[in-house]
């Protein structure tokens, strides 16, 4: 696939994906969603990378929402198909075997907030704003905002934000657990990169298993505790486990190969 709305670069083994529709405040349209889906289900899996950073072009928005212009004339079936594609894509991000961090450099509203929540971590710039304003349009969130927001901030506060359409600023997002860190404007990607470079020194197979285990906790079709037991045992058959334990005993830095 040729990327039209995503700008993808690689630095130090990290893929940096920039939503590149600055004039539209990086709103997610059908093309953007297809490109995100392709990266996280195919292209990204084939790249030799240790992690991914998602951010938005310009200084105003990470992603200000879905492209509302595309909603005109849609039927119920059209809406369900659009929501299903969004769910599938954001699940692919959530389940990606390498850590994915959202560098939120402005508005993360509607689909933008949902995209950020699908990532494994969120770094917010001081001017970042989060919200699910869909009720202003007579809609509910369509890309799992009503489900993931509860995981981060609890039912009561999630209900409030979902029904009032209020935005929250970066410090409140941090205090609620929606953001991992708040940094000065312009330093969002640098902080995300700092975290990913630290993670890259750990066992890659173990990192992938951590992602699986944490996701399993929220999956009604899985027993997260059983998943952890299996993962712990399976990792003992890996070369990374041998290297990690040997390096610990020898008091040296482990040289993991992801095997």
Catalytic residues: 114, 134
Tokens of 89: 């894509």
3-state secondary structure the chain: CCCCCEEEEEECCEEEEEECCHHHCCCECHHHHHHHHHHHHHHHHHCCCCEEEEEECCCCEEECCECHHHHCCCCHHHHHHHHHHHHHHHHHHHCCCCCEEEEECCEEECHHHHHHHHCCEEEEECCCEEECCHHHHCCCCCCCHHHHHHHHHCHHHHHHHHHHCCCEEHHHHHHHCCCCEEECCCCHHHHHHHHHHHHCCCCHHHHHHHHHHHHHHCCCCCCHHHHHHHHHHHHCCCHHHHHHHHHHHCCCCCCCCCC
């Amino acid at each position: 696939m040729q990327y039209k709305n995503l700008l993808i670069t690689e630095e130090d083994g990290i893929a940096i994906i920039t939503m590149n529709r600055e004039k539209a405040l990086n709103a997610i349209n059908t093309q953007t969603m297809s490109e995100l889906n392709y990266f996280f289900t195919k292209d990204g899996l084939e790249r030799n990378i240790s992690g991914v950073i998602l951010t938005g072009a310009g200084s105003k928005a990470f992603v200000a929402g879905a492209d509302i212009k595309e909603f005109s004339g849609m039927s119920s079936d059209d809406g369900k198909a659009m929501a299903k594609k969004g769910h599938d894509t954001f699940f692919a991000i959530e389940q990606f075997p390498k850590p994915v961090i959202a560098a939120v450099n402005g508005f993360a509203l509607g689909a933008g907030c949902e995209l950020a929540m699908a990532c494994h971590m969120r770094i917010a710039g001081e001017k970042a704003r989060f919200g699910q304003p869909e009720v202003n349009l007579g809609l509910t969130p369509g890309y799992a905002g009503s489900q993931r927001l509860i995981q981060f901030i609890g039912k009561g506060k999630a209900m409030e934000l979902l029904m009032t359409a209020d935005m929250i600023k970066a410090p409140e997002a941090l205090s609620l657990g929606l953001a991992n860190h708040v940094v000065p404007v312009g330093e969002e990607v640098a902080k995300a990169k700092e975290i990913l470079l630290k993670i890259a020194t750990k066992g890659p197979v173990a990192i992938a298993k951590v992602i699986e285990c944490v996701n399993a906790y929220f999956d009604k079709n899985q027993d997260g505790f059983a998943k952890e037991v299996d993962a712990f045992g399976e990792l003992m058959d890996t070369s990374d486990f041998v290297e990690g334990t040997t390096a610990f005993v020898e008091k040296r830095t482990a040289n993991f190969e992801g095997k």
